[in-house]
A and B are shown apart, each in its own frame.
Chain A
Amino acid sequence: MAQRKERIDRGIKVRSDDVFVLTSWREMLYLAAPRVVPVVALFVLGLVAGPYWERVLISTCMFALLAISWDLLNSAGMVSLGQALFFGVGAYIAGTLNHYLGLPPGLTIPIATIGGGLLCTLALLPVLRLRGIYFAMVTLILPMMIERVIEATKIFGGTEGISGLSTLGNEHLEFWLAAVVVFVALFGFRRMMGADYGLLLKGINDNDRAVMSAGMNIYFYKAQALFMASAVGAFAGAFMTHAYQFVGMPVFALDYSMIPIASVAVGGMGTLAGPMLGSFILVPLSELLRGLGGLRVVIYAVILVVFTVGLPEGIFHYLSRKYNQFERWVGVER
């Protein structure tokens, strides 16, 4: 007899959009676990990790922010190949403010976040009308251009960069701050995407002309999404500048554009949580493989291919399906 797979939503008993009627501890746990477990897990990891792995976790958090920022942009119909632009601009703003004006990280990071967001939004404003690959091309080129400008004009330390910047205080504080910000961004943006505002952004992604013909100025909304995404990226850059006590041309490197995209591919697009999960797999993995020397990149690439071929929808989509639905094989009568 032929069989087919049947999927049934696990769902809780009474549910209407945002209102849940909880009837048991089990149901509350069912809802809370996917949110609480990752938070607890990350903080525990931070407690047990030694100084080296704590630093890895910090940079993982920053890559996670870049990946979340990529996914947010993508949800509003903008494909970015240049997360390094946001990261680098934030990094240089924080670095120069700290080095030349002597501002403490407590000031440079917020200024770099808002200022970097505004600067990147302004820089990309003229190309907001471009769609798909054309927008992506511009985002790819901008960080490379800035890199060459710094090299040629020798501003902000030129090829040497600026070193000896202030730290945030101690390592633990850095980790806790990074972890809190990453979760605030994750849950905040997820909530936003679920609300009416997110509905609009998704609408723009699916069919921008239809949103326009509903009387909405899509460029205004796209600019807002762009600002949010670039501010998140700029925060990551500013934070890393102070964590490394250094800012230089490598902040515009392709790594900061590509690893977030790889994280999205592995984790699952359009969920914000998927990209974060992706970074938490890829970045520590690349550290683990460091001992392999030259073969590191090859093995890294193989793992990436295995993930994307094996689970093209992304790990997060797969996990959430397994979590939210019963699956069983049922006979089909012919």
Chain B
Amino acid sequence: MKGEVILQAENLSRYFGGVKAVDGVSFSLRRNEVLGVIGPNGSGKTTLANLLTGFVKPSKGKVIFEGHDITNLPPYKVADRGIARSFQMVKPFYQLPAFKNLNVALLSPRVRRLAGGRYGDRDAMAKDLLEEVGFERDSWVISHQAASLPHGYLKRLELAKCMALQPEVIVLDELFSGLSLAEVASLVPVIEKLVHQGKTLVMIEHRLRELFRIADRVLVLNFGQKIAEGEPAQVMEDPQVKGAYLGSEAEE
């Protein structure tokens, strides 16, 4: 068993008009655990990420982080408490060089607080982080304008931005999507290292094979509802999950 419960969702629901994007989802996450969130397209995975990080306010339910109710905090305060997230649609700070993208996150009050009230050498910190996620150090890519970076690098940049915040929990929204097998394979050790450092991860993924290598537990969503939760192998045996993924007799 991993550590104490760090993040809890209680009956979390979000309705957009008549659409129940997320409907009564509850789960709890222990420190240093990796929770995979899977489900077919439109099953509410990204909305769940938005709910956890404050970008969308729930219609019903609560989010509790480290014992505090963070349900109605604005996104920047959620991030400040230590929940970082990546976005499915990668949108870097186009005008800035790659490493300066991280400087924005390194300027945040949280980073300063954790460093004992002072900022360090941000450029050097940014370059270290980029190296950790697989940018070649001292290569042209690091100081290249983010607008013209290839997709694989943008995804790495997105992960590095999360790491820059030195968060407790990282919510990764489809980090692996659009990456080649080789690129995913090179990112898996980075994630494993984060886990080793004691971070707690929520990974929303479509790439199940890679996810199951990393995740301790998997939560399956379909039409906004949690249809299964448990260890990866056991979840995939669930008839409802098979139904949702293979599309046989999906319940309405």
Contacts and interface: CB of A to CB of B under 8 A. Distances in A.
Given A213-B75, A214-B164, A202 B109 contact: no
A210 interface: yes
Contacts of B103: 196, 199
B107 to A, nearest CB: 6
B96 A210 contact: no
A183 to B, nearest CB: 25
Nearest to B84: A213
A196 B76 CA distance: 18
A211 interface: yes
A210 B87 contact: yes
A217 interface: yes
Contacts of B132: none
B46 to A, nearest CB: 13
Contacts of A209: 55, 75, 87, 91
Interface in A176-218: 196, 199-200, 202-203, 205-207, 209-218
B110 A202 contact: no
Contacts of B92: 206-207, 210
A210 B100 CA distance: 14
B79 A210 contact: no
Contact of B76 (A202, A207, A212, A270): A212
A28 B111 CA distance: 38
Interface string B69-97: 00000111101100011010001111110
Contacts of A214: 76, 79, 84, 104-105, 107-108, 161, 164-165
Nearest to B83: A213
B55 A215 contact: no
A215 B96 contact: no
Nearest to B122: A196
5 contacts: A207-B93, A210-B93, A215-B110, A216-B107, A217-B74
Interface of A: 17, 196, 199-200, 202-203, 205-207, 209-218, 270
Given A17-B123, A199-B100, A212-B76, 16 more contacts: A196-B107, A199-B96, A203-B104, A209-B87, A210-B93, A210-B104, A211-B104, A212-B55, A212-B75, A212-B79, A213-B75, A214-B161, A214-B164, A215-B76, A215-B110, A215-B111
